[in-house]
Amino acid sequence: MRMYDLPDARGHFGPYGGTFVAETLVHALEELRAAYLEARADAAFQAEFRDELAHYVGRPTPIYHCRRWSAQLGGAQIYLKREDLNHTGAHKINNTVGQALLARRMGKRRVIAETGAGMHGVATATVAARYGMTCVVYMGAEDVERQSANVYRMKLLGAEVVPVESGSRTLKDALNEAMRDWVTNVDDTFYILGTVAGPHPYPMMVRDFQSVIGEECKPQMRELAGRQPDAVIACVGGGSNAMGIFYPYIAEEGVRLIGVEAAGEGLATGRHAATLCAGRPGVLHGNRTYLLQDANGQILATHSISAGLDYPGVGPEHAWLKDSGRAEYVAVTDEEALAAFMALCRIEGIIPALESAHALAYAAKLAPTLARDRILLVNLSGRGDKDMQTVARRAGIAL
């Protein structure tokens, strides 16, 4: 593969990405891009970022070999990158630490964020407390009702949580509302976007902050298995944990990159969130990418058992990796994800996030088709404590 150096200077990954925003935000994004490029090249900034990741977040996270589960599946060996062991319980904090340090460097004292399940909101509220910033989190009113524990966590951390009543009252509407806040308060506010979507430079910047995941994997796999995996598997909603683990492996031609989307109740039912598997290109939230949309270009409501995958768009770099053939994208249903969730609980003693359970479910399908000396590296992007209500309700149990 030729050298991979995307995005270009204006944030394009082939035909995807870019800066599709109202004029008022163009200058703010140019400022952000300039500040980020300067910080990226600044050894002191990078050193502080690494230091925070080590002492505040708890990195490096380990890689764990699922010997029992692999043996039961009877094929390839499954290894987990344990992002669930990060402070706040998911990979999201890698990015919020990076962006909060950048906000501080730019002199912005107020941060805002969108959140779906609440994990990015919690990670943002956490760093806002850590760095002494004012924090407002936009969350779809429907998600506020579904995720009351995370709402309370954010409030404990000092954030204001604003329920968003517009549109479908979910993540995409929270993102719209965060953009509206930013356009109104652009002088003193830094928007900490939670995934590899949005206008340039967000897809690049969030990927860079998250790529610590994949960078750690390379020496860890060498040490643990004596070689790199045959495939790297990660769930994809917006796609930040997947970009974080894929990015350092893009140039490693022998490594398959597999993104797992949420097939919800099944692709044929229309009740899913499998943007790359079932969508087509369009423009939303500042970038060109694959979208779930109707014939008129209206964005469709999505469904997944995991709120974190419940998004009708996807990061533009994934769109490019799909079209270029470098990565493969598949989808697993709610049921399949739940089965993998249960398997990991019972066989390995790890409660995964329902998002991550999608990646596990695909690994469980793929492993038996491969020889026992093959290696699958799955990004276990978060822990499942937040999903107790959902899983229990599904089993008819009231907590």
Partner 1 sequence: MSRIAARFAELARGGRKALVAYLTAGDPAPALTVPLLGALAEAGADVLELGVPFSDPMADGPVIQRATQRALAHGVGLAQVLDMARAFRAADARTPLVLMSYANPIEAMGAERFVREAAAAGADGVIVVDCPPEECAEFAAQARAHGLDTIFLLAPTSTEARIRAVAQAASGYVYYVSLKGITGAEHLDVADVAAHLPRVRAATPLPICVGFGIRDAAAARRVAELADGVVIGSRIVQEIEAAGPYEAAARVKAFLAPVRRALDERPRQGAA
Q: Which residue numbers are catalytic?
A: 66, 91
Helical packing angle, 212-225 and 202-210, nearest 10°? 30
For partner 1, the binding residue among 3, 5, 23, 44 (CB under 8 A) is 23
Residue 167 CB, shortest distance to partner 1, in Å, is 7
172 binds partner 1 (CB under 8 A): yes
The answer to whether residue 195 forms part of the interface with partner 1 (CB under 8 A) is no
Q: Which of 7, 13, 16, 18 binds partner 1 (CB under 8 A)?
A: 18
Is residue 312 a contact partner of residue 300, using CB atoms and an 8 Å limit? yes
Q: How far is CA 231 from the centre of its chain?
A: 19
List 283, 339, 345, 347, residue binding partner 1 (CB under 8 A): 283
Residue type, 108: K
Q: By CB under 8 A, is residue 132 in contact with partner 1?
A: no
Interaction between residue 282 and partner 1 (CB under 8 A): yes
Residue 89 contacts by C-beta under 8 Å, 6 or more apart in sequence?
Answer: 119, 353, 382, 383, 385, 386
Figure out which of the listed residues 22, 54, 149, 397 binds partner 1, where binding follows CB under 8 A: 22
What are the residues whose beta carbons fall under 8 Å from the beta carbon of 55, sequence distance 6 or more?
A: none
Binding mask 134-163 for partner 1 (x = CB under 8 A): ------------------------------
Closest CA to 249 of 318, 314, 363, 326: 326
Name, in order, each residue with C-beta under 8 angstroms of 169's C-beta and a sequence gap of 6 or more: 140, 141, 142, 143
From the number of C-beta atoms within 10 Å of its C-beta (0-12, 13-18, 19+), residue 375 rates as: buried
Q: Give long-range contacts, CB 8 A cutoff, 24+ apart: 17-20.
A: 17/200, 17/203, 17/287, 17/288, 17/289, 17/316, 17/317, 17/320, 18/199, 18/200, 18/286, 18/287, 18/288, 18/316, 19/199, 19/200, 19/286, 19/287, 20/199, 20/283, 20/286, 20/287, 20/288
Of 26 and 54, nearer to partner 1 (C-beta) is 26
- Under rule CB under 8 A, residue 281 binds partner 1: yes
Among residues 273, 291, 314, 344, which is the contact residue for partner 1, using CB under 8 A? 291
Choices 13-21, 123-131, 260-268, 344-352; region in contact with partner 1 by CB under 8 A: 13-21
Residue range at the interface with partner 1 (CB under 8 A); choices 128-136, 185-193, 205-213, 228-236 = 185-193
Closest approach, Cβ 5 to partner 1, in A, equals: 20
Site stretch for partner 1 (CB under 8 A), options 85-93, 110-118, 171-179, 349-357? 171-179
Segment interacting with partner 1 (CB under 8 A) among 24-32, 120-128, 152-160, 379-387: 24-32
Task: Give the one residue of 5, 187, 223, 253 binding partner 1; rule: CB under 8 A.
Answer: 187
Total number of residues that touch partner 1 (CB under 8 A): 38
* DSSP single-letter state for residue 264: E
Let me know how long the chain is. Answer: 399
| 257 residue type, one letter | L
Residue number with CB closer to partner 1 (5 or 187): 187
What long-range pairs does 267-271 form, CB within 8 A, spacing at least 24?
267/331, 271/303
Figure out which of the listed residues 183, 224, 342, 345 binds partner 1, where binding follows CB under 8 A.
183
Q: Specify the residue, 233 or 284, whose C-beta has the smaller distance to partner 1.
A: 284
Name beta bridge partners: 284: 287
**Measured distance between the N- and C-terminal CA atoms of the chain, rounded to whole angstroms:** 51
Among the candidate windows 170-178, 244-252, 315-323, 352-360, which touches partner 1 by CB under 8 A? 170-178
Q: Does 295 bind partner 1 (CB under 8 A)?
A: yes
* Smallest separation, CB 34 to partner 1 (Å): 12
**C-alpha 257 chain-centroid distance:** 15
Quick one: which of 124, 293, 333, 356 contacts partner 1 (CB under 8 A)?
293
Question: Sign of torsion, CA 193 197 201 207?
Answer: positive
Minimum CB separation of residue 294 from partner 1 in Å reads 8
CB 118 within 8 A of CB 150: yes
Q: Report if residue 166 touches partner 1, rule: CB under 8 A.
A: yes
Three-state SS at 198: coil
Residues that bind partner 1 (CB under 8 A): 10, 18-28, 166-167, 172-173, 176, 179-180, 183-187, 281-286, 288, 291, 293, 295-299
